[in-house]
């Protein structure tokens, strides 16, 4: 369990360092698979957790990376050239986030059993948010979003030991729809502006 938490944080840490879109999607795939593993280990024997784990594998480690890789293949020569904060600085920031979150969770929820899981998932959420803020490439922003979503899912899992299945299905569907829309938008962005750098969207403001 703790190993998985560390590995998850490491994957998020890695995401702050990559420039190439394909590697980012691959890291994301591994990360989602780890989330599914956490889900399966946490709920050993429970049918409903098993369903959730399988769904995570199918949607987050299967469909979403597949869709992202497909669009990435059409975006040749696209990479994060000029992030708002460079790789070194964002790694430091991610480390700072991890330290801060562990400190906060240690202070607020010292007696909770799975506090390390809570802290890891919160750190994942904030690293995801930071990725969205600091990267200009649309695909990397989507990767940040999914990282955040993974963190939220883990948070739900570690605090409640499984939400009702209907709500989980809703969340999965939500993510799937969001990612499909984002992928389509990214493709459109490429077609209209010959680039998937989201800072050009600033021009939309009147």
Partner 1 sequence: MNFTTIYLLMLLIFAVGLIITPVLCKKLKVANLFAHGIALLGSLAAVLCASFVFVTGPQAFSLPLYLPFMAFSVRVDYLAAYFLAIIGLVGAAASIYAVAYGREYFKRRFIVMAELYLAFLLSMLLVVSVSHVFAFLVVWEVMSVASFMLVGQEYDNPVSTKAAYLYLVMTHIGTAFIMTAFLLLAKTSGSMEFAELSALGADTWTKNAIFLCALIGFGTKAGLIPLHIWLPKAHPAAPTHVSALMSGVMLKTAIYGMTRFYLEFLGVGPAWWGGIILLFAIVSAVLGVLYAMMEHDIKSLLAYSSVENIGLIMLGMGAGMVLMSNGLTTLAGLAWAAALFHVLNHAVFKALLFFGAGAVISVTHTRDIEQHGGLIKVMPYTAVVFLIGAAAISALPPFNGFVSEWLIFQVLFNLPAAIGGVLGKMVAAVLISLLGLTGALAAACFVKAYGMIFLAKPRGNKAEQASEVSGFMLVPMFLMAILCLVLGIIAPKIMVLLRDILAPFFSEGVLDSLVNSAWYVLGFQQGQVSAGLSLPALGVVFGAGIVLAAIFYLLNGLGKSETGETWTCGIVPNARMEYTATGFSGPIRRAFGKVLLPQTEKVINTNTSPYSGWRVIYEVHITHVVDELVYQPLNRRIVIASRFMKEIQTGSVQLYIGYIMAVTIGMLIWSTRW
Binding residues vs partner 1 (CB under 8 A): 84, 100-101, 104, 107-108, 122, 126, 129-130, 132-134, 136, 141, 198-199, 201-202, 204-205
Over the Cα atoms of the chain, what is R_g?
Answer: 17
Least spacing, CB of residue 165 vs partner 1, in Å: 18
CB-wise, 37 or 93, nearer to partner 1? 93
Contact present, 48 and 162 (Cβ < 8 Å)? yes
Q: Which two tokens stand for residue 139?
A: 């695909």
What's the half-sphere exposure (Cβ side, CA atoms, 13 Å) at 44? 2
Least spacing, CB of residue 136 vs partner 1, in Å: 8
CB-wise, 45 or 206, nearer to partner 1? 206
CB-wise, 57 or 129, nearer to partner 1? 129
CB-wise, 52 or 123, nearer to partner 1? 123
Task: Find where tokens 């993974």 sit.
Answer: 150
Least spacing, CB of residue 133 vs partner 1, in Å: 5
What's the half-sphere exposure (Cβ side, CA atoms, 13 Å) at 59? 23
Least spacing, CB of residue 107 vs partner 1, in Å: 5
DSSP letters, 82-141, are: S-SS-HHHHHHHHHHHHHHHHHHHHHH-TT-TTHHHHHHHHHHHHHHHHHHHH--BHHHH
CB-wise, 4 or 95, nearer to partner 1? 95
Least spacing, CB of residue 62 vs partner 1, in Å: 27
């Amino acid at each position: 369990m703790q190993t998985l938490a560390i590995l998850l944080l490491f994957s998020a840490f890695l995401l702050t360092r990559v420039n190439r879109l394909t590697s980012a999607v691959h890291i994301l795939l591994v990360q989602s698979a780890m989330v599914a593993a956490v889900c399966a280990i946490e709920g050993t024997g429970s049918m409903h957790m098993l369903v959730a784990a399988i769904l995570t594998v199918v949607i987050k480690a299967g469909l979403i990376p597949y869709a992202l890789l497909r669009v990435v293949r059409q975006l040749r020569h696209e990479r994060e050239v000029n992030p708002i904060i460079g790789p070194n600085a964002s790694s430091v920031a991610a480390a700072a986030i991890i330290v801060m979150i562990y400190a906060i969770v240690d202070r607020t929820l010292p007696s909770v059993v799975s506090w390390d899981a809570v802290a890891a998932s919160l750190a994942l959420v904030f690293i995801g948010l930071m990725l969205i803020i600091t990267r200009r490439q649309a695909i990397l922003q989507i990767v940040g979003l999914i990282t955040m979503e993974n963190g939220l899912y883990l948070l739900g899992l570690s605090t409640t030991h499984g939400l009702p299945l209907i709500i989980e299905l809703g969340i999965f569907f939500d993510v799937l729809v969001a990612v499909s829309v984002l992928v389509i938008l990214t493709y459109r962005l490429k077609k209209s502006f010959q680039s998937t750098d989201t800072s050009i969207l600033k021009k939309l403001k009147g």
